[in-house]
């Protein structure tokens, strides 16, 4: 059976659910990647442009091309970054509609585990980047418990519904990433972990945002009201608010960078 495509169709809701987490991890990732200014970038699986925005703000790129299968996310990204050097296409990581060696860098932020054939996607990134250029990615360490809403998944599983992993969850493991990068002929490969923390104004804000996840929302909506209340109580018991009622907790990603042979 063909692996299902994962769609994120609401740019504004995505911003709170994942965009803010993406930028927290993206900040550490980009300082580690340490790219030059003035590059031509392709941001594969750019979604609503949360990560693309960081490229634009920090590295004065001459051109940035974002691409994502969700027309709704792309519409949000186009409004967010309405500047001449940034373009967005609706399209798929496994068949990038760009010429060979068209970019200095290709990057995938929190995407690789959604792509049905990650090896094809990494090969496509390697194809569209010039010799000596950069191919990189970061992804939540889902199988290691690093997904920002892992706590919610764990408590749901305790009540019945097992976690619903994305189709290529194995690609979030650091060893699998290394094998994918090496398999695409990339060199100078390096990996690292990225740990981040996020603070929510209070438990209710966290609970409201947690329920907007594109894959979690329908599963939560299908739970019996009593189970949902139990789930909320169990989550509340797992987080300790500070004096102002805020709650803070962490997430962890795996990151990889490599180069197209010069
Ligand atoms: C968690 S979001 C990350 C978005 C953005 N890169 C960020 O850091 O905020 C995952 C994105 O992967 C996209 N996606 C899913 N399958 C894809 C595929 N086959 N090719 C490219 N993007 C894909 C989704 O549409 C979604 O926008």
Query: Residue 189 pLDDT > 50, yes or no?
Result: yes
Q: What is the mean pLDDT of residues 191-217?
A: 92
Residue 154, domain member (yes or no): no
pLDDT in tens, 31-40: 999 999 999 9
* Distance from Cα 226 to the centre of ligand 1, integer Å: 33
Let me know if 261 is exposed, middle or buried by CB neighbors in 10 A (0-12, 13-18, 19+): exposed
pLDDT score, position 3? 38
Let me know if 32 is exposed, middle or buried by CB neighbors in 10 A (0-12, 13-18, 19+): middle
Residue 68, domain member (yes or no): yes
* Distance from Cα 73 to the centre of ligand 1, integer Å: 9
Nearest to 255 by CA among 175, 189, 191: 191
* Distance from Cα 20 to the centre of ligand 1, integer Å: 15
Residue 208, domain member (yes or no): no
Pocket test for ligand 1, best of 3, 69, 149 (most atoms within 8 A of CB): 69
pLDDT in tens, 237-261: 999 999 999 999 999 999 999 999 9
> Residue 34, Cβ neighbours under 10 Å: how many?
9
Q: Which domain holds residue 34?
A: 11-145+166-197+253-259
- Distance CA(5)–CA(94), nearest Å, equals 12
* Distance from Cα 234 to the centre of ligand 1, integer Å: 30
- The more confidently predicted of residues 159 and 57 is 57
pLDDT score, position 8? 62
**Domains in the chain, number:** 1
Q: Is the CB of 14 under 6 A from ligand 1?
A: no
pLDDT score, position 5? 46
Nearest to 119 by CA among 155, 85, 168: 168
Please state whether beta strands 247-259 and 187-200 pair in parallel, antiparallel, or not at all (unpaired). antiparallel
pLDDT in tens, 73-131: 999 999 999 999 999 999 999 999 999 999 999 999 999 999 999 999 999 999 999 99
Residue 202, domain member (yes or no): no
Q: Is the CB of 56 under 6 A from ligand 1?
A: no
């Amino acid at each position: 059976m063909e692996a299902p495509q994962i769609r994120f169709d609401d740019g504004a809701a995505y911003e709170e659910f994942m965009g803010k987490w993406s930028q927290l991890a993206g900040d550490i990732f980009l300082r580690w990647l340490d790219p030059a200014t003035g590059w031509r970038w392709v941001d594969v699986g750019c979604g609503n442009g949360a990560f693309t925005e960081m490229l634009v703000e920090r590295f004065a790129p001459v051109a940035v091309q974002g691409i994502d299968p969700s027309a709704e996310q792309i519409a949000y990204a186009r409004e967010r970054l309405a500047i001449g050097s940034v373009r967005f296409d609706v399209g798929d990581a496994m068949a990038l509609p760009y010429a060979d060696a068209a970019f200095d860098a290709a990057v995938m932020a929190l995407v690789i585990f959604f792509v049905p054939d990650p090896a094809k996607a990494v090969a496509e990134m390697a194809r569209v980047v010039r010799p000596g250029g950069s191919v990189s990615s970061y992804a939540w360490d889902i199988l290691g418990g690093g997904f920002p809403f892992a706590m919610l998944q764990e408590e749901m599983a305790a009540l019945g519904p097992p976690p619903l992993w994305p189709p290529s969850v194995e690609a979030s493991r650091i060893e699998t990433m290394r094998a994918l990068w090496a398999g695409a002929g990339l060199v100078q490969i390096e990996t690292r972990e990225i740990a981040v923390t996020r603070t929510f104004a209070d438990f209710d804000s966290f609970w409201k945002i947690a329920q907007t996840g594109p894959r979690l929302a329908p599963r939560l909506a299908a739970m019996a009201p009593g189970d949902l209340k139990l789930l909320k109580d169990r989550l509340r018991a797992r987080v300790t608010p500070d004096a102002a009622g805020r709650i803070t907790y962490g997430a962890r990603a795996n990151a990889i960078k490599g180069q197209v042979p010069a």
